[in-house]
Structure 1
Amino acid sequence: MSDAANVLDVVTLIEDLPERGLYRWQVGTVFEALAPDVFEVEFSDDEGRSYASLALSESRLLVLHYEPVQAG
């Protein structure tokens, strides 16, 4: 299983972005690949309403996995 981000992956921020009202560990969804290692990520509330959407480098993201990962 790869840790590289793909469209529709669930990701979390690994650093604060206070100028955008976003903080470490907030969860979003990748919805577009803009360039190598740059993705448009949408952040939504529990009701599905988007409250932020921005381009982020993959180095600011951690891909979350919701299934077992088998060792190498």
Structure 2
Amino acid sequence: MAVKVKLPNGKDEPHMLDSVALLEDLPEHGLVHGQVGTIVEALEGAYEVEFADTQGRAYAEVALRKQQFLVLRHEPIQAA
């Protein structure tokens, strides 16, 4: 059963610069489940996510549907 959370300031949709984790392998882009990226653009029905190494060098940029990633939260969030 999924837990509904109440996010600070009503932020329940992904936003620019949110950190996300990939929920599926995308071998055509050299990406695997769990890799972390950053939303760099909101598209019609998708989000452009950039994946970069620890030096900040981008190695992939892919348009993903919301179901393909999990937004990572760094602040405490209370369950609704």
Normalized against structure 2, the TM-score is what? 0.83
Q: Do residues 15 (structure 1) and 31 (structure 2) align? A: no
Equivalent pair of 1:11/1:29 in contact (CA under 8 Å): yes
Cα shift readout 1:20-51 (whole Å, capped 9, x = no counterpart): 10000000000100113x00000000000000
Tell me the percent identity. 52
Question: Is the alpha carbon distance of 1:3 and 1:15 closer, same or farther for their aligned partners in structure 2, counting shifts above 3 Å?
Answer: farther
Q: Does 1:4 align with 2:13?
A: yes
Instruction: Report which of the two structures shows the higher radius of gyration computed on alpha carbons.
Output: 2
Give matches, 1:13-52, under 5 Å: 13-36=22-45, 38-52=46-60
Other-structure match for 1:59:
67
Q: Which runs of 5+ in 2 are unaligned?
A: 1-6
Q: Helix, strand or coil: the match of 1:68? A: coil
Q: Structure 1-normalised TM-score?
A: 0.91
| Number of equivalences | 71
Aligned-partner SS, 1:40: strand
In the alignment, structure 1 segments of 5+ residues that lack a partner are: none
